[in-house]
Amino acid sequence: MGHWLVIDLEATTDEGGWAMEEMEIIEIGASLVGVDGHERDHFQRIVKPQRRPCLTDFCRELTHISQTDVDNAAPLPQVWAQFERWLMQHASRLVGWSSWGDYDRRQLEQEWRQHRLHSLLADVPHLNLKQAFAKARQLQRPIGLHSALQLAGMQFQGQQHRALEDARNTARLLPLVLPLKD
């Protein structure tokens, strides 16, 4: 029985956004989903940014992550080691991993290179669920997570722009795109 991992990241930013190269991960949320679409396990950690350790007002308001939260967190190399240990327990059943859009995959790949990190995910297929949902629903263009949930007759559960809640809500759409069966 295979599992899918749904990942969402929160990153440093400011009003108007920053180029991805300027952003750093400040929170990792991952929901491991069984073939029935239900969560089997999850991972969530705050990450201490290194290049710009002070969060902008906009970033704090958007994510509800405080400066104290990131100040007390470990940097990405330590958090990623924790993530990989957690993921290793599920690796034998991992079919693929997904995110809402391509940003999360690209941000992870960028930070893996910057920090010279290795990941089991590098060898696992990635699904851009935003694109897959748009294709499955025959939409002219991809839509945001909140709109996709509404289109599917669901409401967002939890706090938006928090990594684990966003990952869990994204995971709720996975069964609508994949033929999840034994």
- Using left for φ > 0, alpha for ψ between -120 and 50, and beta otherwise, residue 21 falls in alpha
123 within domain boundaries: yes
CATH (domain of 166): 3.30.420.10
Q: Look at residue 81 in the predicted model and tell me its pLDDT.
A: 98
181 within domain boundaries: no
Rounded to two decimals, the pTM is 0.95
> Could you tell me the residue range of the domain that residue 125 belongs to?
3-176
Q: Look at residue 97 in the predicted model and tell me its pLDDT.
A: 97
182 within domain boundaries: no
**Which tokens hold the place of 153?**
């007759």
What separation in angstroms does the CA of 19 have from each of 75, 101, 175? 21, 16, 32
- Residue 48 identity: K
Q: What is the DSSP letter of 91?
A: G
147 within domain boundaries: yes
Q: Look at residue 34 in the predicted model and tell me its pLDDT.
A: 87
| DSSP H or E run through 42 | strand 39-48
d(CA 24, CA 21): 8
83 within domain boundaries: yes
How many domains does one find in the chain? Answer: 1
Contact 154, 9 (CB under 8 A): no
Q: pLDDT in tens for each of the 182 residues of the chain?
A: 799 999 999 999 999 999 999 999 999 999 999 877 799 999 999 999 999 999 999 999 999 999 999 999 999 999 999 999 999 999 999 999 999 999 999 999 999 999 999 999 999 999 999 999 999 999 999 999 999 999 999 999 999 999 999 999 999 999 999 864 44
Q: Look at residue 14 in the predicted model and tell me its pLDDT.
A: 96
Q: Look at residue 178 in the predicted model and tell me its pLDDT.
A: 82
Q: Look at residue 182 in the predicted model and tell me its pLDDT.
A: 41
Q: Look at residue 179 in the predicted model and tell me its pLDDT.
A: 66
Q: Look at residue 1 in the predicted model and tell me its pLDDT.
A: 72
81 within domain boundaries: yes
At 24, give phi and psi (nearest 5°): -130, 145
83-86 CB contacts, 8 Å cutoff, 24+ apart: 83/28, 83/30, 83/43, 83/45, 84/118, 84/119, 84/120, 86/41, 86/43
92 within domain boundaries: yes
